[in-house]
Copies of this chain bind each other. A is one copy, B any other.
């Protein structure tokens, strides 16, 4: 399994490529910042190896073994991210790039020991679930903050945009995973929200709310 193949499988997984949903050549090319013709080439190769199902002009989806492989890469990526934050004091906006490299290190033992060192974490620094060794993981209960009604309350559980820019913005404004957010009001004019967080009121734009996942509280 080459690094390129692993990256394609991971991308198809992230784009939701399953038996029920085919992923288009263009979507993959865009996500990977490569060209559609390259994707076609690789789709053929992966189909040849039984890692994806591929029908010309239709799109690709992960096979059973393809999914297993993709999950193992995602597992490694997210565990390394936790390691970087917890053990090496990286901030959550610095870890993705490095994890993109570390996820390709080939050693069962290494990733199992990292997992154990970290105490078998269930979520990565961005709130994304970490698949277990045998590929099981829980989709977390979530909705976008922008979909909540005034008066309701939620706990911040994840981010949709994981860009360094957005994550740094959240740091600067003291918004972190685990924080409880109450929606006070939504402006008709620009959909900006007034929220209460950590006992303080603040105003955030619709775009911010549209990139924050919360778990609704009763």
A105 to chain B, nearest CB (A): 5
Q: A residues near B, CB below 8 A?
A: 84, 87-90, 94, 97-98, 101-102, 105-107, 109-110, 113-114, 117
Tell me the bound Cα distance from A29 to B94 in angstroms: 39
Tell me the bound Cα distance from A101 to B103 in angstroms: 11
Tell me the bound Cα distance from A105 to B99 in angstroms: 10
- Closest chain B residue to A107, Cβ basis: B98
A110 to chain B, nearest CB (A): 6
Q: Are A117 and B101 in contact, CB atoms less than 8 angstroms apart?
A: no
Q: Are A98 and B105 in contact, CB atoms less than 8 angstroms apart?
A: yes
Tell me the bound Cα distance from A202 to B110 in angstroms: 36
Q: Are A98 and B110 in contact, CB atoms less than 8 angstroms apart?
A: yes
**Which of A94, A107, A114 is packed against the most chain B CB atoms within 10 Å?**
A107
Q: Are B101 and A88 in contact, CB atoms less than 8 angstroms apart?
A: no
CB-CB under 8 A from A89, the residues of chain B are 113
Residue in B88, B98, B117 whose CB lies within 8 Å of A88: B117
Tell me the bound Cα distance from A105 to B97 in angstroms: 11
Tell me the bound Cα distance from A88 to B87 in angstroms: 12
Tell me the bound Cα distance from A105 to B101 in angstroms: 6
Tell me the bound Cα distance from A94 to B112 in angstroms: 15
Residue pairs across A and B with Cβ atoms less than 8 A apart, 20 shown, are A84-B110, A87-B117, A88-B110, A88-B113, A88-B114, A88-B117, A89-B113, A90-B109, A90-B113, A94-B109, A97-B107, A98-B105, A98-B107, A98-B109, A98-B110, A101-B105, A101-B106, A101-B107, A102-B105, A105-B105
Tell me the bound Cα distance from A109 to B90 in angstroms: 9
- Closest chain B residue to A106, Cβ basis: B101
CB-CB under 8 A from A88, the residues of chain B are 110, 113-114, 117
